[in-house]
Structure 1
């Protein structure tokens, strides 16, 4: 029999053999600090969805905190050296799903513009999926989707490598849609159902920011411009001044963010096409008709 190798550090146990206690010490990726923050983001997002139809203030608060924690989990990942692929995917999925849920609500609240909101949802999912898939296929399994060389795209390189650019674009993009959501509960310009009955002397003042409409809840049910579930919330008579200010102030950055999504989709598509051409060239298929 071959003698088992032993060392002083092994305490008389064969080298290379793992005890049950050592096996149990394996890292639990799911309990990493940034991932725990990610789970909290999901809980807050679900809570915001629960309050979304009837309580705009509570919804906006929970939704905003969930979005702000997006920056905190990245800081925690760097501080504790706990950056993981699972965490990156969890973070991206949470972002895509929460934004999509808010846009779905806006599409329901403003059916005349539902095609625009549906288009924004599609662009957001398509650009990020294409970019992630292209990075995985062309860059390798260990490559991060945030590693975009300046030679491939200067705007994408700036967007993903400069944390302040990334944070500003994402934060103000979300702020625009949150403010637009609040306008659905406060501005008669956005929601005509908030206007007083025709002939009311208050109708002119109600059209001005800071002068909420005095509308009776019962008048909202027959309105084709709003869901009946919003009745009591819209009767809260919110001031539209702050939502209008936030909407107009964040609109330019929101448009920049959508342009970046388009650039990301186009660049990722071209990157995949380059890979296809190289593979076809190696297989000799590029010469066939």
Structure 2
């Protein structure tokens, strides 16, 4: 049994200085129940729900995924409003962003295997860029430094991206909207998904009338995919095949430049973080007397 006021704790004397420091540094605040963190948890729940509906229910999935992304702006506002900005919340926010985008890109890679390498490259760039940036900020800037504090001298692009809330919101939102629109095209555009091509002269026809030619292999009847052709999944698939691709195409084309800008920012962030870490390495080697230039002299 432990006792306070410097008395023995589990047979070992307690250090008064350590006890005082612990009491001064710690409070009974429950960081996990802060408002912005609660919003973060709801984002995770919505993201998981969107993944559940992703293979068969494009409308439902897109709605849930979009709401989860929009809440990303709300948790930042709540953190400033209630003065509840925390390191845990910042990491939770970034992990949720990375994981949700990755899951959507994984689906696109499986839906379009011919372009899977591109989607895999985007996933790798996103993770590598943000991990390197976070690690460089922690090592070079200290624990109290935010990853969003990038000076203009180090990179004016990164400074604009992280300090201008409008630029940050538009870049992140339209980048996600581009991939959501591309996802919807997998269910609506025959150019993206040849299985949606009309058969027997009837758009969206998934079955062949009596006496006509059989259905092509790329457009199987729902009964071949589901136990009952009248199941909810089969009905949703039939509805999805009748989706109009006009809006998804407009969103894809309109958001493409912003998506490209976001990937350029990721590349710049990766290079900038690498150079920052290299600066620290050179400084540490010089202090330790391991500078190769000094050895040559």
The answer to whether the superposition gives a TM-score over 0.5 is: yes
Aligned length: 254
1:238 paired residue number: 243
Residues 66-215 of structure 1: matches in 2 within 5 Å?
66-197=68-199, 200-201=200-201, 213-215=203-205
Cα distance, 1:215 vs structure 2: 3.3
CA contact (8 A) 1:45 1:98 kept: yes
Structure 1 residues 238 and 27, CA, compared in 2 at 3 Å: closer, same or farther? Answer: same
1:257 paired residue number: 262
The question of 1:286 aligning with 2:291 is answered yes
Structure 1 residues 81 and 53, CA, compared in 2 at 3 Å: closer, same or farther? Answer: same
How far apart are the structure 1 equivalents of 2:216 and 2:285? 61
Cα distance, 1:222 vs structure 2: 5.2
CA displacement 1:213-248 (0-9 Å, x = unmatched): 413179587579xxx689764422111111111111
SS at match of 1:184: helix
Tell me which stretches of 4 or more aligned residues in structure 1 moved more than 4 Å: 217-224, 228-234
2:40 paired residue number: 38
Cα RMSD (Å): 2.4
Cα distance, 1:153 vs structure 2: 0.2
Cα distance, 1:143 vs structure 2: 0.3
CA contact (8 A) 2:178 2:256 kept: yes
The question of 1:57 aligning with 2:62 is answered no
Cα distance, 1:201 vs structure 2: 3.9
How far apart are the structure 1 equivalents of 2:61 and 2:192? 19
CA contact (8 A) 2:137 2:145 kept: yes
Structure 1 gaps of 5+ residues are 1-16, 19-23, 203-212
Structure 2 gaps of 5+ residues are 1-18, 21-25, 209-214, 227-232
How far apart are the structure 2 equivalents of 1:194 and 1:173? 26
Cα distance, 1:284 vs structure 2: 1.1
How far apart are the structure 2 equivalents of 1:121 and 1:61? 22
CA contact (8 A) 2:171 2:262 kept: yes
Cα distance, 1:286 vs structure 2: 1.4
1:216 paired residue number: 206
CA displacement 1:118-146 (0-9 Å, x = unmatched): 00000000000000000000000110000
